[in-house]
Structure 1
Amino acid sequence: MSVEGDVVERALDTLDDVIYIYDETARLVYWNQRLNELYGLSDAELDGMAATEFFGPADRPAVEAALDEIRETGETTVEAVSQTTEGPVRFELTGRQLTDEDGEVIGFAGIGRDVTERYEQAGQLSQHNERLAEFADLLAHDIRNPLSVASGHLALARDGDVGSLDAIEAAHERIDRIITDIRLATREGTLATDIEPTDIAWVAREAWEYVDTDDAVFEGPEEFRLDADADRLLRLFENLFRNAIEHGQTDDETPVTVRLEATADGFAVEDDGPGIDAAVRDQVFDPGVSDAAGGTGFGLYIVRTIATAHGWDVSVTEAASGGARFEFAV
């Protein structure tokens, strides 16, 4: 079936894609109506426009490189962003050489397709994958403490200490709670909290039992009550204590002391180790930041995440002893 030229032209004008033909100097000589709509330009204004004129300084070099590729190889595909009447649009632009009967190049033709949504979806998928990887790292990081406790008590149980079985069971229950916590955070994007009056001094002592403390010493009040989620707070203290021991133990002779104290607007945890350099204090809560051998860099990130979930502010400063001091404004 043959179709008259005006029918073909009307058909091309119904497309959402931009159809274009450029001459050998990369000047526009044919286009469909979609181009007029996207730029609010008349036929007279579009006629003879350079291919690069539709793009800003940031994307123009990519378009120029694509034009060079057409001249060298005969075809190209490139993505570039253009400001249109519908806002910024990311186009996938194709181009293929046009030749006459003698094989002489007379220009190129192509299609401009809006791939903005596809690009955004790809970005969202990438962010989602990064978040999943981050939560996997958090999970691996947080189960180290109860696994270490379970392993230690397992060795005792094998030597006949039946009482260690209770500690092993408690460690496994702790792992299960952490896994549940991470799954909730993965689904909801944040750590949910179940706030109720809590003796945080008791929670801190409980967390101390879950950390491989060696000869380190814990000091704190007998009782200190705040509104908090006890299970989340347990993880917060575990990570603070592990951080203090990993960074605060400077030699084998002097064990580090970790102290919990009430403050005027909340509480603080400090140690008498070497402290944190003032130049890097702003970065210590970022994920992946660690200067400890074997450190994952997620401990203090978890601390900040849990504090934020409670609506608390956390900051790091220097203790009177010169060690690290973490202050929580509740």
Structure 2
Amino acid sequence: MAVEGSVLRRALDTLDDVIYIYDEADTLVYWNQRLNDLYGLSDAELSGTPATEFFGPADRPVIEAALEEIRETGETIVEAWSPTVEGPVRFELTGRRLTDEDGAVIGFAGIGRDVTERYEQAGQLSQQNERLDEFADLLAHDLRNPLSVASGHLALAREDDSGESLDAVAAAHERIGRIITDIRMATREGALATDTATTDVAQVAREAWEYVDTTGAVLDAPDGLQTEADAGRLLRLFENLFRNAMEHGRSDEGTVTVRLEATAEGFAVEDDGPGIDPEVRERIFDPGVSDAAGGTGFGLYIVRTIAAAHGWDVTVTGAANGGARFEFAC
């Protein structure tokens, strides 16, 4: 069935993909409406545009190499970022050489397909795979010590039926359990925080306070602070922050006060404990880093992972009273 040119044109204009034809000088001579929409340009403004002009300086060498590949082989397929009125778009770009009836090259044609979501998903999968490899190494490393302690004391208990040795075995097993729980939480919190809603931050903080051993400590969490968050994950973020404050800030000589406050960019949590050594702050969120007796080193890593899942930035500084201060830019 023959299709009239106007019908074909309307059909191409309905596509989400960009259709383009360039001449032998690599300038634009034909396109569908999607190109106009993406760049907010008229037909007159688009006509004659060089192929490289739709891309930023970092990606233009990729486009230039693709054009050369078309000349040499007759076809190409590449990916590159382009700034559009809809935001940065990752395109999968194809090109096929065009010739006339005598075989002379008259340009090339191709399709630009938006693969931004696929690209970002691939990046997330790569990060998750790296995280799993990291966790496997950490798990093997961190479990080796308590298992060795448990095995040694179990051997002693078999020899002299020592209750003290059995207590040490139980403590080692408890530490193993904490390590496994923290690693499982860290892997789960790597997922995106999709169930976000306007959340009362102070209310969630007070609930988390009840789930942590804060005997003798004080929480100052004034009302009125709200943000878009996944309440369940925010709860776990506060649990780990408070547990960290208890492990590092509480002593036999006194208690620790933890304070939640609103900031210009989001909120902050600080305590009046001994604080964090400035030389350690750069790596305090890394998995396995802890100087607390019995700490697993995953608490603050989980905090950063949950913050990242919300799209928040978290930084640690010194509080005015000398303690640790964690600031969240929401």
Query: C-alpha separation between the residues in 2 aligned to 1:260 and 1:313?
Result: 25
The question of whether the paired residues in 2 share the 8 Å contact of 1:92 and 1:115 is answered with: yes
Structure 2: runs of 5 or more not aligned: 192-207, 218-238, 257-271, 305-313, 326-330
Give 3-state SS (helix, strand or coil) of 1:61's partner: helix
Give 3-state SS (helix, strand or coil) of 1:90's partner: strand
Structure with greater Cα Rg: 1
What's the Cα RMSD here? 4.1
Q: What is aligned with 1:187?
A: 188
- Superposition TM-score, scaled by structure 2 size: 0.62
The residue type equivalent to 2:213 in the other structure is: E
Q: What is aligned with 2:174?
A: 173
Matched, 1:285 2:280: no
The question of whether the paired residues in 2 share the 8 Å contact of 1:236 and 1:306 is answered with: no
Q: What is aligned with 1:266?
A: 273
The question of whether the paired residues in 2 share the 8 Å contact of 1:22 and 1:108 is answered with: yes
Summarize the alignment of residues 33-72 of structure 1 with structure 2, pairs less than 5 Å apart.
Answer: 33-72=33-72
Q: What is aligned with 2:157?
A: 157
Query: C-alpha separation between the residues in 1 aligned to 2:315 and 2:12?
Result: 59
Does 56-65 or 181-190 show the bigger shift?
Answer: 181-190
- Deviation for aligned residue 1:137: 4.1
The residue type equivalent to 2:212 in the other structure is: I
Query: C-alpha separation between the residues in 1 aligned to 2:47 and 2:108?
Result: 15
Give 3-state SS (helix, strand or coil) of 1:266's partner: coil
- Superposition TM-score, scaled by structure 1 size: 0.62
Q: What is aligned with 1:196?
A: 213
- Deviation for aligned residue 1:133: 3.7
Matched, 1:302 2:297: yes
- Deviation for aligned residue 1:124: 2.4
- Deviation for aligned residue 1:304: 7.3
Change (3 A) 1:196 1:287: closer
Change (3 A) 1:263 1:329: farther
The C-alpha deviation readout for 1:16-39, integer Å capped at 9, x for no partner, is 101111111111111111112222
Change (3 A) 1:129 1:306: closer
Query: C-alpha separation between the residues in 2 aligned to 1:9 and 1:187?
Result: 49
Give 3-state SS (helix, strand or coil) of 1:2's partner: coil
Does 136-145 or 58-67 show the bigger shift?
Answer: 136-145
Identity %: 67
The question of whether the paired residues in 2 share the 8 Å contact of 1:304 and 1:314 is answered with: no
The residue type equivalent to 1:29 in the other structure is: V
The question of whether the paired residues in 2 share the 8 Å contact of 1:285 and 1:304 is answered with: no
The C-alpha deviation readout for 1:170-210, integer Å capped at 9, x for no partner, is 422331233123223332459x773334489xxxxxxxxxx
The residue type equivalent to 1:185 in the other structure is: A
Give 3-state SS (helix, strand or coil) of 1:196's partner: coil
